[in-house]
Amino acid sequence: MPEPALRDRFAITLRSLLPDEAVPATAPDPYRYADDLLVRWAEPQRRYHTTDHLTAVLDRVDTLAEYADDPALVRLAAWFHDAVYRPDRSENEERSARLAERALAEAGLSAEGTAEVARLVRLTAGHATAPGDRNGAVLCDADLAVLASEPGAYAAYTTAVREEYGFVPAPDFRAGRAAVLEQLLALPDLFRTPYGVREWEARARANMASELRGLTI
């Protein structure tokens, strides 16, 4: 999707959450925030966590919107969930959540809405949602749906992930990636929404099991 359309998606989502009296007279221009985020998503260290990934997650949130309590807040969380991304650091989700807290408060989003977006961003560090967390289930399912890609797309995903971690020696990467896959496969359910369970669960597990066999041979 061209960037202008992505910019519009952000602006429409943010404006839908602002009080009527704040739009458009007193609210900051939402495109300013969209542009900052798109610059971040286009940083050169990214191979998988790019605007293509952002677009895919937004599209999946749209697919799953009926399962969320606040779909617009989930969409904002998708925009921020990897806004800060350095593959050599472990605090990306926390830093992304703090960015959301600063930017969305400045943009005029309510304190409650801002806190919910930041909470959702932090959830993507481990994709562990509590029972009844409908917003969290939608965001996490949308983020993990890449695991259920068709074989060619899944291979492209794993290649891009490896490129992001090109600074890690091959044996260390294989061990670390295998540990991630084993952790995910050990979960009783990868997906929490009915759609995710029905459409993505089996294929995601098959893809990960196949990748894991390749890493441990």
Confidence of residue 118 (pLDDT cuts 50, 70, 90): very high
Residue 77 pLDDT more than 50?
A: yes
Per-residue model confidence as pLDDT tens digits over 6-50: 999 999 999 999 986 545 556 789 999 999 999 999 999 999 999
Reported for 89-98, long-range contacts at CB under 8 A and 24+ positions apart, including other chains, are 93/121, 93/122, 93/124, 93/125, 94/122, 94/125, 96/121, 97/121, 97/122
Domains of the chain: 3-216 (1.10.3210)
